[in-house]
Amino acid sequence: MNGEAILPYLIIIPLFGAFAMPIVSLAGKKAREAWAVIISALTLVVASAVFYHVWKTKEIIVYTLGAKTPFGQGVGFPIRIVWEVDLFGAIMVLTVAFVSLMAVLYSLGYMKHDTGLEKYYTLILILELGMLGIAITGDLFNFYVFLEIMSIASYALVAFRNDTWEGIEAGVKYMFVGSIAGSFILLGIALLYGQYGTLTMGYIAVKIAENPTVTAKVALALFIAGLLFKSGASPVHMWLADAHPAAPSSISAMLSGLVIKVGGIYAMARILFSIYSPMAHSIVLKAYLQPYINMSAIGWLIIIFASLTLIIGNAMAVIQTDMKRLLAYSSVGQIGYILLGLGIGLAAYGTQTGEVALAGAIYHTVNHAIMKALLFLVAGVVIHEVGTRNLNELSGLAKTMPKTTFAFLIGAAAIVGLPPLNGFASKWLIYESSAVFNPVLGAIAIIGTAFCTAAYVRVLYTFFGRPSERVANARDPETSMMLPMLLLVLAIVIMGLLPWQISDKVMIPTARMLEQFKFEYINALMSLAGGA
């Protein structure tokens, strides 16, 4: 199977689905829903094929838009837009496609009573498209375009239920914060383009290593600032706690599970490890006493934000009475873990500890996407059946909604990190590496988990408590809402049964590919120069 040949279909299929949606929906409601499911299922098939190809060959796919080679005629540098997919990108592609399909399936039942659904399904496909684009792109401006596609679709989806002010307020707030973050990132891209005259990530990496100027450092600061905003790290997490609960639950699942990861964590990892290659700066240039950018200091910077994030996020989750708000704060906390892994991976670059931390961060990104999607879908079922998300009124749901409560139990146990489930392995890798790297960080990570446990035990205590009148008539939802939850539970359990196999076969190679000790990301692009 040829990876290059199937890669564009990752963009073509959801784009075709989104554009054709207004026409298909002329044929009626059923056609529209079937169309959304078919398109996202096809995308999942293509995503699995891309992932399998990259995983099998361990080679980076480089795809040029508009020509055979990214290099212009008679010039020695890339001038065209390229897509570069390494294993981390491929993992994100697979996760995005899987969770999006679950969200679309869930929407069939959950959004049944809403109007304007053709716009809803168009936007959900465009949101998926934007995230897939971020995961596969190898061009900075192309990355920005996809980031904005993703962001604008999510602003609109947060405010989709515009019959309440809550959604509109959260959407507007999200839009302001997102635009500020987006302009930081755009300014960073503009600075790099002005300084080095190229936008191709692999080639910018070469130029920055040749001449690490102050401009490159300022651009890095702007990227980190913008992407911390987008990923919802403390102290700029305030939009997340408004936007994620206000959206319809299927969208909350995508926002918390995917958008903050792809638009925040993944993009940050790509910029830190592929553009500001720590191999070049922390090891090669430093050894030869050349000017370099101190990437381990950047790593520490991220670690500081990560520690703040995971304490504040998890602690805020404990005191919430709104179920979806609790889940949103818990997302902030889990982002803290992922950032911690990423920061240690950068600060301890080149050591075993750094590699394990990075693998843990990537693993937790995938795991948290699945767990948080499940938890938000459960919250959606509760809202759908009971009509409230106030935890004080939800006492005793376990009696009337046993299957839903079971799904929540699995999701909560996984996110806390109980051993037979998938959250355990990834959190363990992060604890282990942070304790080896610096015991204080290990302690902070454990404290975060203590808060996280407290928050989820509180919800479970409510669910298993004495039944209140409010929940007496609630019951488990219809199949279209139950099925995605069951599939996510299955994914959690299966991934939980094979923790170290996944870690050794997928996550460690991914971390190694991202660290690019042999400049794989740059070489995959520059090796095409001979063919021009």
Partner 1 sequence: MSDDMGVIVKTMARATIPLIGIFGAYVVSHGHLTPGGGFQGGATIAGAGVLFLIAFGLSEMKKRYDKHLYSALEGVGGLVFLGAAMLGLGTAFFYNTLWHNGPVFNGDPGTLLSAGYLPIMNLAVGLKVFTGLVSAMVGIALYRRWKS
Q: Which residues bind partner 1 (CB under 8 A)?
A: 8, 11-12, 15-16, 18-23, 26, 63-68, 118
Given the complex with partner 1, which of 129 and 253 has the nearer CB atom?
129
Helix axes 238-246, 165-196, angle to 10 degrees: 130
Residue 349 half-sphere exposure toward CB, CA atoms < 13 A: 26
In whole angstroms, give the CA distance from residue 242 to residue 464. 27
Given the complex with partner 1, which of 200 and 296 has the nearer CB atom?
200
Q: Euclidean distance between the first and final Cα of the chain, in Å?
A: 25
CB of 122 to partner 1, least distance (A): 9
CB of 114 to partner 1, least distance (A): 16
Given the complex with partner 1, which of 66 and 76 has the nearer CB atom?
66
Given the complex with partner 1, which of 165 and 288 has the nearer CB atom?
165
Given the complex with partner 1, which of 18 and 344 has the nearer CB atom?
18
Given the complex with partner 1, which of 69 and 294 has the nearer CB atom?
69
Given the complex with partner 1, which of 120 and 196 has the nearer CB atom?
120
Residue 119 buriedness (CB in 10 A; 0-12 / 13-18 / 19+): middle
Given the complex with partner 1, which of 139 and 476 has the nearer CB atom?
139
CB of 70 to partner 1, least distance (A): 10
Length of the chain: 532
- Whether residue 134 contacts residue 143, with contact meaning beta carbons closer than 8 Å, is answered with yes
Given the complex with partner 1, which of 21 and 394 has the nearer CB atom?
21
* Coil, helix or strand at residue 239: helix
Closest-CA residue to 262 (of 394, 100, 393): 100
Given the complex with partner 1, which of 67 and 75 has the nearer CB atom?
67
CB of 83 to partner 1, least distance (A): 9
Between the CA atoms of 359, 363, 365 and 368, what dihedral angle is there, to the nearest 10 degrees? -150
Given the complex with partner 1, which of 16 and 52 has the nearer CB atom?
16
CB of 18 to partner 1, least distance (A): 7
Given the complex with partner 1, which of 163 and 469 has the nearer CB atom?
163
In whole angstroms, give the CA distance from residue 131 to residue 391. 32
CB of 412 to partner 1, least distance (A): 40
CB of 245 to partner 1, least distance (A): 24
Given the complex with partner 1, which of 159 and 310 has the nearer CB atom?
159
Tell me, what amino acid is at 380?
G
Two tokens at 352? 């075993």
CB of 12 to partner 1, least distance (A): 7
- Whether residue 281 contacts residue 292, with contact meaning beta carbons closer than 8 Å, is answered with yes
CB of 26 to partner 1, least distance (A): 6
Q: CB atoms < 10 A from the CB of 351, how many?
A: 15
CB of 57 to partner 1, least distance (A): 20
Show Cβ contacts of residue 156 under 8 Å, excluding neighbours closer than 6 positions: 123, 171
CB of 121 to partner 1, least distance (A): 12
CB of 16 to partner 1, least distance (A): 6
**187-221 burial code (b ≥16 CB/10 A, e <16):** bbbebbeebbebbbbbbbbbbbbeebbebbbebbe
Given the complex with partner 1, which of 454 and 529 has the nearer CB atom?
529
- Whether residue 70 contacts residue 526, with contact meaning beta carbons closer than 8 Å, is answered with no
CB of 145 to partner 1, least distance (A): 13
CB of 133 to partner 1, least distance (A): 12
- Whether residue 332 contacts residue 240, with contact meaning beta carbons closer than 8 Å, is answered with yes
**303-322 burial code (b ≥16 CB/10 A, e <16):** bebbbbbbbbbbbbbbebeb
* Coil, helix or strand at residue 82: strand
* Coil, helix or strand at residue 322: strand
Helices (H) then strands (E): counts for the chain: 26, 2
Show Cβ contacts of residue 436 under 8 Å, excluding neighbours closer than 6 positions: 353, 442
In whole angstroms, give the CA distance from residue 77 to residue 74. 9
Cα distances (Å, whole numbers) of residue 87 to 51, 93, 507: 7, 10, 9
Closest-CA residue to 290 (of 405, 408, 211, 400): 211
